[in-house]
């Protein structure tokens, strides 16, 4: 994906970024601060945001920054995760052999979490795509977080998902879970002032130091992406290809419009 006018050392606007290469927006900075506070002081944080807003990427950046000697990062992807699979997954992640049934696995998880706590290690469990969790699974978190006394939990749980998660948590049956939430943050999309910096950041990650998108092209990208990073990435990739085909020295409105057509956005 190169031309006589610009050159990339890797695919631009790729999802394959290391935690240190992530663009840190204002919303991202706020999320980092809140999550660090929650991890240090609380037991339950809920993170929501639109599809493609960068929740998973931002959380991964926070987890990457944690000291491995003090924290154990456990990642679970929710595919309508049920309580039985939840405990099995936790045991697998901490290298504990499964028990003979649900009750024993539940006991083994409690034992494993307390053992890590005694070693000075706090487990941090991230449940991604948590909007898919059922009410019984969300209710089960009350038992996961309730050890020995009501005020003590050796682990941190972070359900992250789309805005529907917040709606589900407002059900009356989940009142006791909602009361345990230490932090609830909805990650905003990028604002208009951040779009140019976001695009330039991704260009630099890919080896292109100068801004090759025109101001009017950037405005059009914001108009159609609504500041959602995943949409911005898709539009920019298609626009770069369109500019290369047109042998253009910059990525202008015409290239972006062609990219929008190719991505079926207009």
Question: pLDDT of 229-264, one tens digit each?
Answer: 999 999 999 999 999 999 999 999 999 998 888 766
* pLDDT confidence of residue 151: 56
For the domain made up of 26-186, give the CATH fold. Rossmann fold (3.40.50)
* pLDDT confidence of residue 1: 67
- Identical fold between 26-186 and 191-262: no
Query: In this predicted model, what pLDDT tens digit does every residue of 80-134 receive, in sequence order?
Result: 789 999 999 999 999 999 999 999 999 999 999 989 989 999 999 999 999 999 9
* pLDDT confidence of residue 212: 96
pTM value is 0.88
- Show the tokens assigned to 119: 């070693």
In whole angstroms, give the CA distance from residue 2 to residue 47. 38
Question: Does the 191-262 domain belong in CATH 1.10.8.60?
Answer: yes
* pLDDT confidence of residue 164: 95
Sketch the domain layout of the chain as residue ranges.
26-186, 191-262
Which of 3-12, 30-39, 71-80, 190-199 is modeled with the greatest confidence?
190-199
Query: In this predicted model, what pLDDT tens digit does every residue of 33-78 receive, in sequence order?
Result: 898 888 888 779 999 999 998 888 888 888 888 888 999 999 998 7
């Amino acid at each position: 994906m190169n031309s006589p006018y610009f050159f990339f050392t890797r695919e631009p606007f790729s999802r394959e970024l290391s935690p240190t290469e992530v663009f840190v927006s204002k919303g991202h900075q706020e999320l980092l601060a809140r999550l660090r506070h929650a991890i240090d002081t609380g037991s339950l944080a809920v993170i929501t945001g639109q599809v493609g807003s960068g929740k998973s990427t931002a959380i991964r950046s926070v987890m990457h920054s944690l000291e491995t000697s003090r924290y154990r990062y456990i990642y679970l992807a929710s595919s309508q995760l049920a309580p039985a699979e939840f405990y099995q997954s936790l045991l697998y992640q901490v290298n504990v052999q499964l028990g003979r049934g649900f009750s024993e696995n539940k006991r083994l998880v409690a034992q494993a979490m307390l053992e890590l706590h005694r070693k000075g290690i706090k487990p941090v469990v991230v449940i991604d795509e948590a909007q898919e969790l059922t009410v019984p699974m969300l209710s089960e978190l009350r038992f996961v977080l309730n050890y020995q006394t009501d005020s003590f939990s050796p682990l941190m749980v972070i359900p992250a998902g789309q805005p529907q998660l917040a709606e589900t948590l407002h059900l009356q049956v989940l009142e006791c879970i909602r009361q345990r939430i230490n932090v609830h943050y909805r990650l905003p999309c990028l604002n208009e002032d951040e779009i140019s910096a976001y695009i330039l950041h991704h260009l630099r990650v890919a080896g292109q130091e100068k801004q090759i998108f025109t101001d009017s092209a950037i405005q059009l990208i914001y108009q159609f992406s609504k500041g959602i990073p995943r949409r911005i990435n898709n539009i920019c990739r298609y626009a770069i290809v369109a500019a290369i085909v047109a042998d253009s020295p910059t990525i202008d409105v015409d290239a972006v419009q062609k990219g929008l057509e190719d991505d079926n956005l207009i």
